[in-house]
A and B are shown apart, each in its own frame.
Chain A
Amino acid sequence: MALGDVVEWAKHQVSARVPKADLDQRDPDYIREQLPGLWLLASLYFRADVRGLDRIPTEGPVLLVGNHSGGNLPPDTFVFTLAFSSYFGVERPFYQLAHNLVVSMPGLGSLRKFGTVAANHENARLALESGGALLVYPGGDYEVFRPSWERHKVDFGGRKGYVKLARDAGVPIVPIASVGGQEAALFLDRGQWLAKLLMVDKLARLKSVPILLAPPWGLAVSDFVPRLPLPTKITIEVQEVIDADDIKAADDDVIHEKVTTALQSGVDRMAAQRRFPVIG
């Protein structure tokens, strides 16, 4: 059997395990039951502060675009999910896109009850067409594994497909800026070279195999073994909405520039208020 056949077989095995998006798996009652636990974790362990939720349209579909931090245990995602569900109620449909490996990982099936679906254009379109709010992190595994010394840099790695998604669906974009997540561990290298060497970039759409320092393991390669995130202070600030009409009238680069500029400004503002790493 040629190497190419083996790669194709392995790729099929991985993709076959990615659950199909079923928006009905989102369970408001389940989310409601989990909110106090999330609130304790967010308020006591991560000392989170979420601002500007009033900038999000109170009804209708909306694309929430965030900068992503914290590796495979991103505190910003669950803190924002808690904030959105508390502010608008669990009754408002809210979905999040996540990497294929996250939604298919054993033990993380409960994420689907929160409205987490595999990140692809079709799932995103379905979520918006259903009238839901959709949280996306265009930077994905490229941004979330950036070195910790680049923690205050918004970097989507050139990905801007989210603009077309918003335009096609006719929905506004709301940028969500956050800081603190990349201090939950010491990320040393994205490990893109390692991803290529191990061919997981082709097998599992995994562009990074990060190298990091994190308790309790010390030095870790890849971020799939559970670790203890450091109790870093998380701050999230919702930015001004970009109207659907503006998105329709402008091209992708203009809107992408607008989103990343808003995010970088928000991140810079919040970063300037931090006195120490982790402590905040």
Chain B
Amino acid sequence: MRLQQRVIIDADRDTVWKHVSDPACYPEFMTSLERWEAVSDGPVGVGSRYTGHWKIGSVPVGGVIEVVEFDEGRDLAWIGITGITQRGRFRLRDCPDGTKVIFRLAYEAPGGLLGVIADWVASRQVGGTMKQTLENLRRLVEG
């Protein structure tokens, strides 16, 4: 399942990037985030690992994720190492009204047909969570 949400934030790209690139900030704006812990030491960058779980349906869903792209001021992408198979991305681009932030998430549950159904059932809630996350980010950045 591939989902995408976007928001325009009235701030320059560097200001938005400060929040997006600081995982310590994530509990402040990520909706339904039940667990967020750094697994690796040191500053965030490619190879940094975190444990993240979001309350989707009845239980927290997620696992250990690893940052695979860290393009200063532009892109931050991660993949799932354990738990649900996932690939996510925050993409920041300049636009006339400030900064356009795109939040993409591709995920795939195991379990064959039941996994496909679970992906589809969860997609509405996951999409809503992503949308609310971007809205929270906008409020956080714009103050």
A interface residues, Cβ below 8 angstroms from B: 32-37, 39-40, 42-44, 46-50, 53-54, 79, 82-83, 86-87, 89, 91
Contacts and interface: CB of A to CB of B under 8 A. Distances in A.
B117 A40 contact: yes
B39 to A, nearest CB: 11
- The number of chain B residues touching the other chain, given as a range, is 20 to 34
A50 B58 contact: yes
Contacts of B118: 36-37, 39-40
A86 B109 CA distance: 12
B23 interface: no
A46 B115 contact: no
Contact of A91 (B58, B82, B112): B82
Nearest to A92: B82
A86 B111 contact: no
Given A86-B83, A89-B83, A43 B57 contact: yes
Nearest to A234: B58
Given A35-B110, A36-B109, A36-B118, A82 B58 contact: yes
Given A36-B118, A43-B121, A86-B53, A48 B111 contact: no
Nearest to B64: A89
Nearest to B109: A36
11 contacts: A35-B111, A36-B119, A39-B57, A39-B58, A40-B118, A43-B121, A50-B60, A53-B34, A53-B60, A82-B59, A89-B83
Interface of B: 34-35, 53, 57-64, 82-83, 109-112, 114-115, 117-119, 121
Nearest to B111: A36
Nearest to B115: A36
Contacts of A36: 109-111, 114-115, 117-119
Given A32-B110, A54-B35, A44 B59 contact: no
A43 B121 CA distance: 10
Contact of B59 (A37, A48, A54, A89): A48
Contacts of A34: 111
A37 B35 CA distance: 23
Given A39-B58, A49-B58, A50-B58, A44 B121 contact: yes
B60 A40 contact: no
A47 B57 CA distance: 8
A37 B53 CA distance: 19
